[in-house]
Structure 1
């Protein structure tokens, strides 16, 4: 059996195809080996020992696997948090896992509103290195098959979260920040960072504005050799383009004079840009860039500024799908490549067919990274699956199947067991099986588990909400040239009966200015179109008056930037931030309320007049 993390050269396409075929064809055996190794190392930890009876060193791998499946319950964050807090306070890592916990990873906090801390080890960084190498290999195979060593650079925006320390001195940081700070990233470069326009000093700069400015500036300086653009998530890349729209004149001045703006004060960043990128006055380049940026509207600006770009690289599935029309406008036909499915708990899924259109994107979970199990979920089971988060009370309710035993067309909640101390942990993501590649299933990410909106007897999932918004936009706004720059929802019960509020940031094609003069009837039709997509219980509640008309509040430009800034101030990493599908916090609501420019309501009940 192959090593769990085999070495390979991402530039060697022939060998790379063989690696991917072995990983996906041997999925069942690899999963058995992964679980056996996790249990061999960790069955004596305090956490697992309670369920595995402090298994003796002589226990066979098969015995340990059987005991694990019979006795170890499904867990939620509430179950592991006490152990994480104890490690953070200085207790030994061995209460959770045999390997030293080197740092704690922080979640984005945008899905459920709670920042969570997860244990991580040096081995987890090795897994991330391997995972990024597989992605680089797939890009080479599908997107750059004819370029060899003549490949260009990527204008790819990357950011860190500065992090903090626990009382015992253990670093707390975002998953991406941990990787960018690691020796694996600095010394091996298996994911191709050397082909990015951003200097490492810009990526590691703790000041987000200085980092963004210099990454975009360097991307403009290298515009002639850029062959792809992007960022981890679609909204981060869009934020970068909007930042460029506000600051291109200053950047052009820097390029024209060969002198970096004085407000860039982070010394390593300033020295790197001045020494390696801004190497003297270049009025001709400044004029080229200025002529493109001055043209309105900004449709096609990515293709115009980086004419050699072949694609936009960013995650555009799940809640990021709402940004596809904006990316399509900026890219003017450039393919949108959604390379991976990621979660803080583990590096997980890769897109084996990067050129698939966003609506068809599926991901394969690498079977050598973690042990994957799944709990089948139907629309009627969402709340049932959410119930019972203690160690014992959901064992009888959730029937788990292994990765290779899932069925095409069915929807599952992801359960992971990792080397770093997560055991049968409920990630909370919903995945639908779309097919198989060899023996490995392919999944479409369909949202977060559970209900995001609820007032009466209705239950609106993230998937339901995103589909409703997309349909309303496609029917009523896209044909008129409007772009949806961001969306979130809120269940308002401040007055009774309550109602749903959608906050939308809209722009026109003309200069991407805020759509303040949009026709009221158009927005009212959008409200009704969203409601018509909701479930039968919602429509019944509307007809009997226990929920009142859905409302859309149009926001001023920059509202979702302000929302992101709020989450960043709370400790969310810029590289991990995703606009929340729904909000619950009064403080978050206030940020948006201050920027409302128009309010619109449904004038009919779904499927019938008022």
Structure 2
């Protein structure tokens, strides 16, 4: 097998291999394009074929050569990655142009999206029930179809799960996707090929184009370390997979060339063991270019794990093996061990960096690291801040998507902005907006994309490609501006994650702002994690008769707080919320009780929540307001002061 170290020196055999590989990829791209509608123009394929000329080959080879930064890369993996970068780059540019055109006539783009959905599903049971075939425009749809929540669909989804056809959507769903359950019990939704195609075309392709322009070094042929865990699926009565709406990178052989983690590791069922393997193969590669995960929390937990077990990992790098302490199958272990060789030189480099401490560790382990790619808005905001301040100091971050199990909602076109903002995708979902003042009404009037106002808050209502119509997803966003005619939003809070024991309705954003201000006034304290519980769920363990908030904090730098310091949080919240202040003044809400929990308590809580739910580690988001007594009791057992 031909391998590559730094610069490539082409030979006749390598040229033949490259030509054959590219020809094969062109065939794959042609077939893929016809099957999935990705290539509307023949110039896309012909431009790739063009590089097969002898002159093109020379230019191509030179282009690949200057991009290579890693060691021991096979020619096949480099060519596959190079062509993937070029093809997706072309596709991203094309999709970005389409997006720009859509944002200049947002009503037209939205109406076409809606009518396409309705026409496709007009002959289903649901489409006939609501007379989709007679709807001609957005306003008619809003007038004849009610706003919905999950209860509206529960029985219909059960019928789909049992094998009944043509209930909500015309085609059979790929999977029955389980939501993360952050705001309550998990819901089972449908996921289709259209949902996945839209996510790739309107989300992934566009964001890669944004990334390429904002972070040019990301085009170099470096591998990515992707922290991803094998999803667990069960089967419905009709044999439809039930589980998270995500697929393993190992499902695509060619995709694996982009990642440091080899295929066998993605089949390991244990999250802890898989994480160990992700880190082991990442540490072996001095030239990692990107660290990627769905959420910043996943990456933060990975670095915390690395901090605890770095000595064991360095030993494995030195010896060229997978530690026998991992409980993985023998065949998988043999496959992984074959990919490892003793590397005492790299082990010595790693050991020296770990012994220096953990501040700025990422760039010291991987000096050519270009980017951290993970969502760090909403409930992941504090993890993003911790990573930027500690482990990933000096590394750019890009939070690319605003998405949910229901599908793609928005894309971040402004990676340089510290406050994460997302342009709503006009061809992914038909969106409506409920003004914040009308959230408690059953069937309030909604606004369309071209009717919202800058500076106001709205709950999103979506009609997607997977059988949800005028569906209240529970996300409240703030319109912070417009890109041409299309709204740009910031995520604010989930309705199900509001503190509300007397009708005060405190959002996660309001509470977190007060908490950060309070922590800044506690000398030496650094916020690691937090959550709250309303005293009503705690029973006799609440510690008082007046309704109040129980707050659990994990802090770094302090192990105790004075009563005055604890009260500072209550005071800061009163300053930020006049409603909370009025209830506190009247005595109808008692003083909050602030408890410190030991280090790692929230990681243990996360493990406890995952063990007793259908949520995947890839989609888990920490609950900021606990709704189940068992979760609050779990943290009560971790209190240190």
TM-score bin, normalised by smaller chain? 0.7 to 0.9
Report the structure, 1 or 2, having the larger helix content: 2
Is 2:577 aligned against 1:535? yes
The CA deviation at 1:340 is 1.2
Structure-2 change in CA distance of 1:457 and 1:20 (3 Å): closer
Aligned pairs for 1:226-241 within 5 A: 226-241=288-303
Structure-2 change in CA distance of 1:17 and 1:100 (3 Å): closer
Q: State the match for 1:588 in structure 2.
A: 631
Aligned pairs for 1:350-369 within 5 A: 350-357=411-418, 360-369=419-428
The CA deviation at 1:446 is 0.8
The CA deviation at 1:595 is 0.6
More off after superposition, 72-81 vs 366-375: 366-375
1:114 to 178, 185, 201: 185
Asked whether the 8 Å contact 2:553–2:594 carries over to 1, the reply is yes
2:608 to 543, 560, 566: 566
Distance 2:396 2:109 in 1: 34
More off after superposition, 450-459 vs 536-545: 450-459
The CA deviation at 1:20 is 4.0
Q: State the match for 1:88 in structure 2.
A: 161
Q: Secondary structure at the match of 1:476?
A: coil
Q: State the match for 1:391 in structure 2.
A: none
Q: State the match for 1:476 in structure 2.
A: 521
The CA deviation at 1:17 is 4.9
More off after superposition, 124-133 vs 519-528: 519-528
The CA deviation at 1:181 is 7.2
Asked whether the 8 Å contact 1:452–1:462 carries over to 2, the reply is yes
Distance 2:498 2:510 in 1: 10
Q: State the match for 1:608 in structure 2.
A: none
Aligned pairs for 1:11-90 within 5 A: 11-12=89-90, 15=94, 17-52=96-131, 55=133, 59=134, 63=136, 65-90=138-163
1:506 to 555, 558, 583: 555
Distance 2:122 2:492 in 1: 34
1:275 to 338, 355, 379: 338
Q: State the match for 2:287 in structure 1.
A: 225
1:198 to 261, 269, 274: 261
Is 2:535 aligned against 1:492? yes
Q: State the match for 1:102 in structure 2.
A: 174
Distance 1:162 1:138 in 2: 32
Q: Secondary structure at the match of 2:460?
A: strand
Q: Secondary structure at the match of 1:246?
A: helix
Asked whether the 8 Å contact 2:95–2:205 carries over to 1, the reply is no
More off after superposition, 450-459 vs 127-136: 450-459
Q: State the match for 1:575 in structure 2.
A: 618
Structure-2 change in CA distance of 1:441 and 1:482 (3 Å): same
The CA deviation at 1:64 is 5.9
Distance 2:598 2:429 in 1: 44
Asked whether the 8 Å contact 2:191–2:245 carries over to 1, the reply is no
Is 2:427 aligned against 1:427? no
Distance 2:398 2:564 in 1: 32
Is 2:290 aligned against 1:248? no
Distance 2:211 2:263 in 1: 22
Distance 2:481 2:141 in 1: 28
Q: State the match for 2:237 in structure 1.
A: 167
Distance 1:142 1:135 in 2: 10
Question: CA RMSD of the aligned region, Å?
Answer: 2.5
Structure-2 change in CA distance of 1:440 and 1:215 (3 Å): same
Q: State the match for 2:456 in structure 1.
A: 410
Q: State the match for 2:279 in structure 1.
A: 216
Is 2:355 aligned against 1:302? no
Q: State the match for 1:607 in structure 2.
A: none
CA offsets, 1:222-249, max 9 Å, x none?
1x21122242111111111111111111
What TM-score do the two structures reach when normalised by structure 2? 0.80
Asked whether the 8 Å contact 1:531–1:550 carries over to 2, the reply is no
Q: Secondary structure at the match of 1:400?
A: coil
1:466 to 512, 521, 533: 512
Distance 1:79 1:202 in 2: 40
Q: Secondary structure at the match of 1:501?
A: strand
CA offsets, 1:542-569, max 9 Å, x none?
2232222112111111111111112211
Name structure 1 gaps, 5 residues minimum: 389-393, 509-514, 599-610
Structure-2 change in CA distance of 1:26 and 1:126 (3 Å): same
Q: State the match for 2:214 in structure 1.
A: 142
CA offsets, 1:110-155, max 9 Å, x none?
2x121111011122222232222222222112112x564x342222
Structure-2 change in CA distance of 1:230 and 1:554 (3 Å): farther
The CA deviation at 1:521 is 5.9
CA offsets, 1:451-490, max 9 Å, x none?
62122342212222222222223x324xx44321111111
Distance 1:43 1:466 in 2: 45
Q: Secondary structure at the match of 2:290?
A: strand
Q: State the match for 2:29 in structure 1.
A: none
Structure index of larger Rg: 2
The CA deviation at 1:88 is 1.3
Distance 1:555 1:362 in 2: 33
Q: Secondary structure at the match of 1:596?
A: coil
Distance 1:39 1:17 in 2: 26
Is 2:371 aligned against 1:371? no
Q: State the match for 2:592 in structure 1.
A: 550
Asked whether the 8 Å contact 2:435–2:459 carries over to 1, the reply is yes
CA offsets, 1:427-447, max 9 Å, x none?
110111111222322111111
Structure-2 change in CA distance of 1:583 and 1:533 (3 Å): farther
Asked whether the 8 Å contact 1:559–1:591 carries over to 2, the reply is no
Structure-2 change in CA distance of 1:207 and 1:26 (3 Å): farther
The CA deviation at 1:164 is 1.1
Asked whether the 8 Å contact 2:226–2:293 carries over to 1, the reply is yes
What TM-score do the two structures reach when normalised by structure 1? 0.84
Structure-2 change in CA distance of 1:17 and 1:129 (3 Å): closer
Distance 1:5 1:430 in 2: 34
